[in-house]
Chains A and B, each alone.
Chain A
Amino acid sequence: MFGYYLIIVLLLGTGTLLNRNRVIRILLLAVFLAVQTAIAIYGYLHLNTGELGGTFYYDSLGVLFLGVLSVLSYTTVFHSYRYLHHRDDDSRKQSIYFTALIILIGAMTCVYLAASIGVMWVLIEATTLSVAVLIYHERTHLSLEATYKYVFICSIGITFAFVGIVFLSKALQETKSVNLSFTDIPGHLQNVNTFWLKLAFVFMLVGFSTKMGLFPMHTIEVDANTVAPPPISAFISTALLNVGFMAIFRTYSLMAHTSILPWMNHILLWSGFLSIFVSTVYILSVNHLKRMFAYSSLEHMGLVAIGLASGGIGYFAAILHMVLHSFVKASVFYQIDQVFRVFNTFIINKTGNYFNKNLTGALVMLLIFMSITAMPPSGMFISEFLIFRSLFASHNILLLVLILLMLTMIMWAVGKNIFTMLFLPQNEPTGKFVKISPWESSTQFFLLTTAIYLGLNPPAMFVQLINDAILVLPK
């Protein structure tokens, strides 16, 4: 089945690249979305089975993120269509855009389901290449700069990750094992030289943080978010972050049963704390709507790293937080596309009175404010609460207090900026007034309510998936 999926995705990608007809393009995209949904459902029905000779494997975490990706594919394709329509891009540019999007979604699907560390690594490269095409879509000086930085730093990151994999193999070599699959490695790591494992973990953490957007590799994520088309920003700060999280989670779970576990937790805790710290510092001074939400992604990734490091209920909370963050952050960037069409700028000080100009959009913004700052009834309130509980349980009280202080500052800054945009009068009009159809906000209402629902009343199968995913970690 997965082989067919790959072939169909490649065929559809080629078809979209060659096709210049509007109707056929919509048809191809519809087929692609159907195939994407089919693979997600098929994966759920065939949990814990391998495909293509064990190269790919439907495990719980992979299928969970695949489901999230499939939901977001629908909304991203829809909003991409609105975005391109509004920009009046010619047919050739639209073809390139959608081809890159199809390849990107396909590559991310493969990363989620990859069964061995080598395969995952190669496919992460593929996501970098395809997302670079999308970041560069507007063809401006700024987008060229951001694309260059993104590709270059991601390549350095991917090189570091490869060095990490070589060190891991060096450790495995002592046990005469040449198998690099995720299920096989942990059993061989019991009695190996921990020095190699530590080196491997550090290199892989730094390398994969380029994708997850953790400190110190967060800058490219922020820059890429600034210039990318809003529907693509929605992907960069959701599904691609999940790719990075997945890679780090897999690395972590490989070594979690060895004696370096406390050491790894220490590193992750620092990385998470510094991420939140940096994001607080920047969010207090930022005046660019997209950058503000990019730094908010950095904050949430820091929280996830801390949840992972604290253990216990923190494992569960980290994965739950990733999923909820995906839904909320995606709707943020879809809404930002509307904001840009109304104001023709991303600079917060130049906007104002959004309530009068686009009532539905303003309601979405209010809901976003509550969700992203994790106020009840936001689903993220639950996951953040669980992360704090795990921090408390692991006796990191000082860290907990510091983080809570910083989160309060972030809440204030985000609130100030959003309310400036919603309620204060606009100083001087920017661009001509555009009427936005309320229907375009429906996807955001859908995603935000899904996030609330999953947080407050998670369905049993959802909880089951997360619980299965953390079975590989120590209790």
Chain B
Amino acid sequence: MINVLLITFLMTLFFVAIANRLLTYIKVLALQGVILFTVVFIQLSHINTLNLILILMETIFFKSIAVPLFLAYIIKHNKITREAEPYVPHFISLIIVTVICIASILLVNSIEDNQLDKIFFVVALSALFTGLYFIISRRKIITHVMGYLIMENGVFVLSLALGSEMTMLVNIGIMLDIFVSVLVLGIFTNRIGDTFEAMSVDNLSNLKD
């Protein structure tokens, strides 16, 4: 069951690579939150109940409801154009994400470790580097944040791979999540949208030598 869920998670990455509208990105982020919720439910079912409830609440509330709603609000409020406007064509994005996935699979397969949950590591590393790739290849500040959220979901999957022995890691991952939410809130409470016209990275090039 976990395998099915994680592979669905991997497929969402490909979907984002060719998605055109910002709303699709938000929906995918919400879907990833729901997937992570289910994975936590299955993977960590035997840990301390209170802690489990905390982690479940965090995935369902932060990842799948609060952050997507807030991003949708920002897009509406700041009148951001609804297209993602990447620097590279979708087709090439798709190829690059595929290459990232294959590279992760090869990397993880080269490890000689018989108690390794390979699928967790493949999915996590793919999400991590795909998120990084989205940050580099998209033009808008808001897509940067979305790319970062994808990275962060990947890190969460990684911490789940060890979560049953080290619950502390998952809790630290949650700290990261809350930190990101604060970051998103802080940056986007109107100010950056008002100051940077069209919220494009092209306006972020005044500081240089």
Contact = CB atoms under 8 A, between A and B. Distances in A.
Contacts of B1: none
B158 interface: yes
A142 B183 CA distance: 19
B207 A170 contact: no
Nearest to B141: A148
A155 B180 contact: yes
Interface stretch (B18-26, B92-100, B163-171): B163-171
A118 B207 contact: no
Interface string B152-182: 1001001101100110110011011001101
Contacts of B158: 163, 166
Contacts of B115: 174
Interface string B185-206: 0110001100110000000101
B204 A227 contact: no
Among A118, A151, A162, A166: residue with most chain B CB under 10 A: A166
A457 B26 CA distance: 61
A151 B176 contact: no
A223 interface: yes
B187 A156 contact: no
Interface in B54-74: none
B39 interface: no
B207 A159 contact: no
Contact of B159 (A141, A166, A180, A193): A166
A170 B158 CA distance: 10
A223 B176 contact: no
A291 interface: yes
Contacts, number: 95
B23 to A, nearest CB: 23
Contacts of A121: 172
A445 to B, nearest CB: 31
Nearest to B168: A118
A190 interface: no
B207 A152 contact: no
A169 B179 CA distance: 22
Interface string A152-176: 1001101100110110011001100
A125 B179 contact: yes
B207 A163 contact: no
Contacts of A162: 155, 159, 172-173, 176
A152 B144 contact: yes
A375 interface: no
B165 A173 contact: yes
A160 to B, nearest CB: 9
Given A159-B152, A173-B162, A291-B209, A145 B204 contact: yes
Given A142-B207, A144-B195, A178-B166, A155 B144 contact: no
Given A144-B195, A178-B165, A195-B111, A129 B179 contact: yes
Contacts of B206: 141-142, 145
B142 to A, nearest CB: 12
A378 interface: no
Contacts of B141: 148
A169 B209 contact: no
Interface string A266-297: 00000000000000001001101001000000
A132 B191 CA distance: 15
B195 A118 contact: no
A223 B207 contact: yes
A256 interface: no
A371 interface: no
A122 interface: yes
B122 interface: no
Contact of B151 (A118, A156, A288): A156
B122 to A, nearest CB: 14
Nearest to B176: A162
B40 interface: no
Contacts of A159: 128, 148, 151-152, 155, 176
A146 interface: yes
Interface string B106-141: 000001110100000000000010001001000001
Given A148-B204, A162-B155, A155 B148 contact: yes
A162 B177 CA distance: 12
B187 A146 contact: no
A226 interface: yes
B114 to A, nearest CB: 10
Contacts of A178: 165-166, 168
B10 to A, nearest CB: 18
Contacts of B165: 173, 178
Contacts of A226: 207
Given A162-B155, A227-B207, A291-B209, A141 B180 contact: no
15 contacts: A129-B179, A152-B148, A155-B148, A162-B173, A163-B128, A163-B155, A166-B162, A170-B161, A170-B162, A173-B162, A173-B166, A174-B115, A193-B113, A195-B111, A226-B207
Interface of B: 111-113, 115, 128, 132, 135, 141, 144, 148, 151-152, 155, 158-159, 161-162, 165-166, 168-169, 172-173, 175-176, 179-180, 182-183, 186-187, 191-192, 195-196, 204, 206-207, 209
Interface of A: 118, 121-122, 125, 129, 132, 141-142, 144-146, 148-149, 151-152, 155-156, 158-159, 162-163, 165-166, 169-170, 173-174, 178, 180, 193, 195, 223, 226-227, 282, 285-286, 288, 291
